[in-house]
Chain A
Amino acid sequence: MARAARRAAEAAITLALVTLVVFALASTLPAGDDEDEHERALPPPYRAAVRAQFHLDDPWHVRYVRWLGDLSRGDLGISLREKRPVAAILRERLPVSLALNALALAAIVLVALPLGIAGAWRPASRSDRALGLATTALYAVPVFWAALLLQWVFAVRLRWLPLFGFAGAAHLVLPVVCLTYGGLAYVSRFVRTSLVEGTTGEGGRVARARGVGPVRFLLFHGLPQSAIPLLTLAGFLVPRLVGGALLVEEIFGIPGLGSLMFQSVLARDLPVVLALTLLSGAVTLAAMTGADLVAAWVDPRSRRVA
């Protein structure tokens, strides 16, 4: 428990530093960069009044302390681009991103796990090499290219699936496919390697000598052995998905967090960028820390290392 508390404290410090850096970097932008054309067209006194109301011209460290204070009261501020509370925007977009990413994560695991096991079945055999070749080739296919191809085939030509936008489960099929295929190489190779490592040791040889069949052997001797590498992998996969959805969301017109972050960075919408940084940072650190803690719980040996 003490360990968990220490990791949580470290994560909080990291997040505080990250947001501080965002503030410091944003302060180097040219003045007025955070305004749109309507605001620039305002008569100077009005413009100054708006800027004063939102404290836009205070020194950045003053604004940071104020932001931290607001945050402690659960107030994420108001979006400069959409002129409404950041929390309301997140409430709309978060469920969409969650659905998309959860489905993609599930799809990656469901497809990559059997592929990895198939590869570990006979390591270095022809089928194992073919699997490695095929998944690496898939990784090299740019996601936006695949997205366009899939759109053209399934939405324009065959008209089986919707082309664009978000209004139900059918709209998520192609985006999930796009988010899935690239991760297969990494995850299935990882599963395979840890399985082979787990089964080629002495424990594996003893089990084989005792007459354990190949299927039972891989599933009940190999998989538990590779549980820890797989856990750390899951810790890394989550943050990848958070950012990886950006292109897919933009191409398929899905109102998720990836495209929100993209548009907010372009528009210098600092409150939204900060909220999303906090969110993605918290998710990332929680996934990494969680994987560490579970690994320590599953395998006492790894406690000493960290």
Chain B
Amino acid sequence: MWRDLSVLRTGVILCALVALAAVLAPWLPVDPNRVDLARVLEPPSLAHWMGTDGLGRDVLARLAYGARVSLTVGVGTAAIALLIGLPLGALAGYRGGWWDATVSRAVEAVLCFPALLLALALLSIAPGWLRPLPEALRLALALGLVAWTPTARYLRAEFRRLRGSEAVHAARAAGAGGWRIAVRHLLPQGVAPVLVTMAFGAAAASLAEASLSFIGVGVSPPTASWGQMLYEALRHMGQAWWLAAFPGAALFVTVYGFNRLAEGIRDWLDPRPLLR
């Protein structure tokens, strides 16, 4: 069947672009944290392709290092959300009863809090043994503890629906046990849509990291983060457009790329073209 892959292609290209920046960051000839007070607020030039900020630091280098934070948080959050949401959702849907009631209450409980603030509260009570972790990973952990609910809800509904299906009856008749049915027969059916929720989740997490860093509670200076660069751009609003334009564009590309990736995977899997 003919399938339109242009959305998926856009997503892959944009995400690869950001990943490339993140990987290549250490090879840049400029140090992202080198302060040069003789070259403050310089517009983009051959020496500094994206100009310099209020402390004379190179915007391009900071942008590339910011990509590492953004991607770590985006992908890390999605992975942690998957690790929590997949088993809980699968158990709730497959076992039902007490499991279902417990997981459903837990999902509701998480949804009771505004997501960003719950993540912030979790960050502030993080136990001491987590301190040695890099900041971006701690952020991903806090955001992941908040972001698992869509995955759990989806898998719960999916496993519930499939539990009574003929394929499961056939597997049981063939002598397969509960675990085997869940892992070998049900899980593969749910994996692809879960990938879609992961990509959407990564987009949301990148935005959340930037938001937290923007209000000063995410990644702390001098580590470069796009949200924090945008906050610093505030002081030079109207006189240094490059300070706000480039980090904003980078964030846009990342979030848009992850979203297109998710939509692309979904379209690719969904045989009903009109419903896209």
Contact = CB atoms under 8 A, between A and B. Distances in A.
B238 A152 contact: yes
Interface in B232-250: 233-234, 237-238, 244, 248
A127 interface: no
Interface core residue of A142, A193, A247 (most chain B CB under 10 Å): A142
A265 B120 contact: yes
B113 A281 contact: yes
Interface string B9-31: 00000000000000000000000
Contacts of B234: 148
A246 B105 contact: no
B121 A14 contact: no
Interface residues of A, number: 52
A48 interface: no
Given A136-B256, A136-B260, A136-B263, A142 B230 contact: yes
A114 interface: no
B71 to A, nearest CB: 15
A149 B120 CA distance: 26
B155 interface: no
B47 interface: no
B117 interface: yes
Contacts of A144: 210-211, 214, 227, 230
Given A124-B274, A266-B124, 13 more contacts: A10-B108, A17-B109, A29-B124, A124-B276, A136-B256, A140-B256, A141-B252, A152-B238, A193-B275, A243-B114, A243-B115, A247-B215, A281-B112
11 contacts: A140-B255, A142-B210, A148-B233, A152-B238, A197-B275, A239-B114, A247-B211, A247-B215, A261-B117, A262-B215, A280-B113
Interface of A: 10-11, 13-15, 17-18, 21, 25-26, 28-29, 123-124, 132, 136-137, 139-145, 148-149, 152, 156, 193, 196-197, 200, 239, 242-244, 246-247, 250, 258, 261-262, 265-266, 268, 273, 277, 280-281, 284-285, 288
Interface of B: 105, 108-109, 111-117, 120-121, 124-125, 127, 203, 207, 210-211, 214-215, 217, 227, 230, 233-234, 237-238, 244, 248, 251-252, 255-256, 259-260, 263, 273-276
